[in-house]
Structure 1
Amino acid sequence: MEKFIHYVWKHRLFPLNELKTTNGELVEVIDVGLYNRNNGPDFFNAKIKIGGTLWVGNVEIHERSSDWFRHNHHTDACYNNVILHVASEIDTDIQTALGNQLPQLKLEVPEYVRRNYEELITNDEYPPCHKIISTLPEIMMHSWLNALQIERLEQRTQTIERRLEVCNGDWESVYFITLARNFGFGINGDAFEEWGKRISLNNLAYHRDNLVQIEAIFMGQAGLLDIGAVHERNRAATLEDEYFMLLQSEYCNFSHRLNLSPMDASHWHFLRLRPQNFPHIRISQLAYLYAKGGTGLQTLIECKTIDEVIELLDTRVTTYWQTHYSFGAPSRTNIKQLSLTSRRLMIVNTVAPMFFAYGRFNGNDKLAERAMDFLDSIGAEDNRIVRMWRELGINIRSAADSQALIQLKNEYCDRKDCLRCRIGYKYLASPK
């Protein structure tokens, strides 16, 4: 509830006329102050006229005034510059560490604001603000989606920077791991990231011209050349599979020479996956992409247009995988290229975040801007989150919009964090 009171004060959702302290002095709120998310008073540099005298200082807010003592503010010198204490319930007088008694204001929250807040927090319908979404001004939604898009890119930048620490500042490895993760297309994302961290690009560079050797290292590091990881019903067929035995032999040689350590194959998910999404297929596509030079960050950065990136990411499987989806299991499925839809998703989830993060890291604003331009130029994603928002009346024009709405659902709606949402503000402030 205290968080709610902070919100009401910050957005001035309280009656502004006839405000009085508990001592009966008139209060005029000129500036509520700057909200402080760190230690210390809740609002800095507020401007408040109390009894005709203008005060500039800090404001502290609690649910009950006795919380001042419960939080030990009466012994903390950081609170000596508080000029007004605000609470929804005044149950005691308070004083600073200097012994000065502070004026207090009982904050009267309008009933409709309180009712709207309860609706947002307790409503089981999803999202709880659905009633007003179709009525919101387009310019307001456009502004909010722009902010959410930047927030999502910044969040992904933090993830990329954590990978950079793990990779000791090697951006090429960071890009490869990020690319690999998104080749998991969700369900195998964690496994692909673990796999990507086990691929040494320095060791691999000597074998770029030999696609069989690249695929042997890729499959071996994924744990997929361990016969014990093969399903029982395919084990006999796999042992008779010439290509499996060839890759296993190549990997064995590299493993001893380079001291390779494969991941546990049990980390891969197969249940409910379409054959074209099996790890074997995606890893073969990555091997082909690496062999043709399509996994390098500097090569990617040279791409100025979406079409150039789509061409760069064009990849397919090796000959064996055109008629197989796992070792020893022939298939009629003729799996060749990474689809155009998948490559566009790679731009959304890999290329744009990498451009943004690398641009921010190196102070290259043009590269960060290119990331946003790419998202603006690609059509919106088609998934259940995007479809939900579209059904509620939001005009979703591009991947920039769909990414923003994914951010909105994940970071605000799912967490019931309506007090940080601009749509939540509109809902709270509406008398209805």
Structure 2
Amino acid sequence: MEELIHYCWKHKLLPLGGLKTTEGKVVEVIDPGLHNLNSGPDFFNAKVKIDGTLWVGNVEIHDKASDWFAHGHDHDAHYDNVILHVVGRADAEATTARGMMLPQLKLEVPQEVRNHYKELLTIDQYPPCYQIIPDLSKLMLHSWMSALQTERLEQKTEAIRQRADDCGGSWEAAYFVTLARNYGFGINGEAFETWAKTIPLHAVDHHRDNLFQIEAIFMGQAGLLELNGVPERYREETSRDEYFARLRNEYLYLAHKFGLHPMDHGLWRFLRLRPQNFPHIRISQLANLYFGRKASLSQLMDCTTVEQMEGILETRVTPYWETHYIFGSESSKNEKHLSPFSLNLLMINTAIPMLFAYGRHKSSDKLCDRAFDFLEQLKAENNHVVKMWRQCGLTVGSAGDSQALIQLKKEYCDRKDCLRCRIGYEYLKTR
């Protein structure tokens, strides 16, 4: 229950009957302080009156007072500036490393707060706070959605920064890996990221004017030019497929030249996957994009409109794939452009986060602001998460809104982290 005591202290959800230390001294909370999410006391720079005397310092919170000793605070000088020990159960007295005895406050969590918190954790409907959503103020919702949107972009920034580190500090390579990952559209996202990290862009650049060679490297590194990686029912036809043979021979030459090793073809998933999303099709589209010199970070950073951003991401397959979804099996002709739906997702999940992350990297408010502007201009996603929030009464007008609500579900609802959620706060406070 320590988290709930933290919450009540932070938001001053205190008993109406007044507060007293375990020694009977009157406590008045002027300012609960700044919540510390790192090591050290739980709240910094709190202002508390104890028997009329104003104290300014840190506050530590525990479920049981004896946890002070269990956590070693009695020997830690970082806790010498604690002015008040707030506990759920006062089963011991707390002393600092200097030997000073701390005043202790046994904080009773209001019963209605306990009840409402239990409801949030146990109610059958999802999300559990659905009842109050229609009554929430537009100002509060707008503020919370903006914070969630920023939080999601910051989270994606960390992932992109890690990819840049993995790629030897190359943000150009990090963009390619991020783009490739999102070409997996969820199901093959991990496989595409693994694949992209095997592509030596410095080597491919030597053959950038030759689409066939680019596709040979891309397909070969994906393990798709190995016959044992072809589904058995297509293996015989594939072995007689002229284009497959040409690509494979070219790849073997380039692999020897650059010391390339393909990824495990078994990482690709085909079950319940629409043919349009087969890795062969997506990789051909990426090869065409790369050949057209449109998959470069500089071009993305130069985009000042959504239309320009859309233009650099538009692509299609190479001629062979217009009549194939997999090697050795011909189909009716289809140019297989990226659909407007797929293009929208790539802008939301690749281009805009990359714009924001690079803006953070370069300390460019202009790029970061442009990322937010683009999110507000793009259509909202129409997935099951967005539909759920719409049914609860929330307005979802743009990609910025849908990204905020995806963040809300993944990072708060799914984790039952209602104590950090603004909607959860309203539920505990008002019901």
In 1: Cα distance, 2:76 partner to 2:282 partner: 59
- 1:49-71 C-alpha deviation (Å, 9 max, x unpaired): 11111111222211122222222
List gaps (5 residues or longer) in structure 2: none
Offset, 1:333:
5.5
Residue 261 of structure 2 corresponds to which residue in structure 1?
261
Offset, 1:23:
1.9
Residue 192 of structure 2 corresponds to which residue in structure 1?
192
Offset, 1:134:
1.6
CA contact (8 A) 2:15 2:108 kept: yes
Secondary structure (helix, strand or coil) at the match of 1:99 reads coil
Secondary structure (helix, strand or coil) at the match of 1:131 reads coil
In 2: Cα distance, 1:224 partner to 1:39 partner: 49
Percent identity over paired residues: 60
Residue 117 of structure 2 corresponds to which residue in structure 1?
117
Offset, 1:303:
1.5
CA spacing shift, 1:256–1:95, aligned 2, 3 Å: closer
Secondary structure (helix, strand or coil) at the match of 2:346 reads helix
Offset, 1:196:
0.8
Residue 383 of structure 2 corresponds to which residue in structure 1?
383
Offset, 1:335:
4.1
- 1:377-417 C-alpha deviation (Å, 9 max, x unpaired): 00100101111111110000100010010011111111111
CA contact (8 A) 2:276 2:336 kept: no
Offset, 1:16:
5.5
Q: Which deviates further from its counterpart, 187-196 or 9-18? A: 9-18
In 2: Cα distance, 1:203 partner to 1:94 partner: 64
Offset, 1:17:
5.2
Following superposition of structure 1 onto structure 2, how do residues 19-418 of structure 1 map, counting pairs within 5 Å? 19-332=19-332, 334-418=334-418
In 1: Cα distance, 2:220 partner to 2:76 partner: 60
In 1: Cα distance, 2:7 partner to 2:61 partner: 10
In 1: Cα distance, 2:122 partner to 2:335 partner: 48
Offset, 1:4:
1.3
- 1:100-125 C-alpha deviation (Å, 9 max, x unpaired): 22222121221111111111122232
TM-score for both structures, normalised by structure 1: 0.97
CA contact (8 A) 1:16 1:28 kept: no
- 1:266-292 C-alpha deviation (Å, 9 max, x unpaired): 111111111110000011111111111
In 1: Cα distance, 2:122 partner to 2:24 partner: 37
Offset, 1:41:
1.9
RMSD of the alignment, in Å? 1.3
- Amino acid corresponding to residue 152 of structure 2 in structure 1: R
Secondary structure (helix, strand or coil) at the match of 1:250 reads helix
CA contact (8 A) 1:167 1:174 kept: yes
- Amino acid corresponding to residue 262 of structure 2 in structure 1: P
In 2: Cα distance, 1:163 partner to 1:18 partner: 53
- 1:131-154 C-alpha deviation (Å, 9 max, x unpaired): 111211111111101000100000
CA contact (8 A) 1:310 1:340 kept: no
In 1: Cα distance, 2:329 partner to 2:217 partner: 21
Secondary structure (helix, strand or coil) at the match of 2:216 reads helix
- 1:181-231 C-alpha deviation (Å, 9 max, x unpaired): 111111001111111111122211222222111111111111000011111
- 1:338-367 C-alpha deviation (Å, 9 max, x unpaired): 112211111100000000011110111111
Q: Which deviates further from its counterpart, 392-401 or 113-122? A: 113-122
In 2: Cα distance, 1:285 partner to 1:181 partner: 13
CA spacing shift, 1:106–1:179, aligned 2, 3 Å: same
In 2: Cα distance, 1:365 partner to 1:302 partner: 15
Q: Which deviates further from its counterpart, 50-59 or 267-276? A: 50-59
Offset, 1:242:
0.8
Secondary structure (helix, strand or coil) at the match of 2:131 reads helix
Q: Which deviates further from its counterpart, 339-348 or 372-381? A: 339-348
